[in-house]
C-alpha cells in the first residue's frame, strides 16, 4: 500500500489513541480523547481517515473496530521527510539545529542524539 496522505492535527490525535490502545471502536477513541459527547464528529473523522488510508476498519463485529494502517514510527518518518524536503531542502542538520534552538533537549535526549550520530558515522565509514 502506498504512503497515506498526511494526517491533519485532529487525525493525529485519533492516531495517537490507536497507537496507544491498539484496535479500538469509535466510542473507545472518543472516550479516551475525553470527547465522549463528540461521537459523531469522531466517527466522521475516522470514516475520512479510512478513505485516506490512514486507518483500517474491521467490520466483522457489530461495532466496527479501527486500527492505524501504519505504525507511529512510519508516520513520524513520513512527516519528517516531508518537512525536511519542504522547509530544509533535505538538510537533516538544519532540521536538528532548528529543533534544538526551538526547544532545548534534556540530557537523556542529547545522549540519545549523540549515540545516533555516532551510529550513523560508523555506518557511513563501513559503507564507504
pLDDT score at 90: 93
Higher pLDDT, 75 or 128: 75
Domain boundaries, the chain: 9-68, 88-127
DSSP output for 45-110: HHHHHHHHTSEEEE-SSSS-EEEESS-HHHHHHHHHHHHHHHHSTT-HHHHHHHHHHHSPPPHHHH
Considering the domain delimited by 9-68, tell me its CATH architecture.
Orthogonal Bundle (1.10)
Helix (H, G, I), strand (E, B) or coil at 24: strand
What is the band of 1 on the pLDDT scale with cuts at 50, 70, 90? Answer: very low
pLDDT tens-place string over residues 106-120: 999 999 989 988 888
Q: Highest mean pLDDT range out of 19-23, 116-120, 124-128? A: 19-23
45 and 17 Cβ atoms separated by less than 8 Å: no
pLDDT digits (tens, 9 = 90+) for 24-75: 999 999 999 998 779 999 999 999 999 999 999 998 878 899 999 999 999 9
Give the per-residue pLDDT at 3: 54
| Residue 15: HSE in the Cβ half-sphere, 13 Å Cα cutoff | 24
H or E element: which one contains 38?
none
Amino acid at each position: 500500500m502506498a504512503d497515506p496522505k498526511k494526517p491533519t492535527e485532529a487525525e493525529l490525535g485519533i492516531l495517537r489513541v490507536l497507537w496507544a490502545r491498539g484496535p479500538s471502536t469509535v466510542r473507545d477513541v472518543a472516550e479516551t480523547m475525553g470527547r465522549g459527547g463528540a461521537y459523531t464528529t469522531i466517527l466522521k473523522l475516522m470514516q475520512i481517515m479510512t478513505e485516506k488510508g490512514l486507518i483500517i476498519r474491521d467490520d466483522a463485529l457489530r461495532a466496527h473496530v479501527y486500527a492505524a494502517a501504519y505504525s507511529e514510527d512510519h508516520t513520524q518518518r513520513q512527516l519528517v521527510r516531508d518537512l525536511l524536503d519542504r522547509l530544509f531542502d533535505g538538510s537533516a542538520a538544519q532540521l536538528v539545529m532548528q529543533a534544538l534552538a526551538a526547544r532545548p533537549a534534556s540530557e537523556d535526549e542529547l545522549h540519545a542524539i549523540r549515540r545516533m550520530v555516532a551510529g550513523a558515522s560508523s555506518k557511513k565509514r563501513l559503507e564507504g
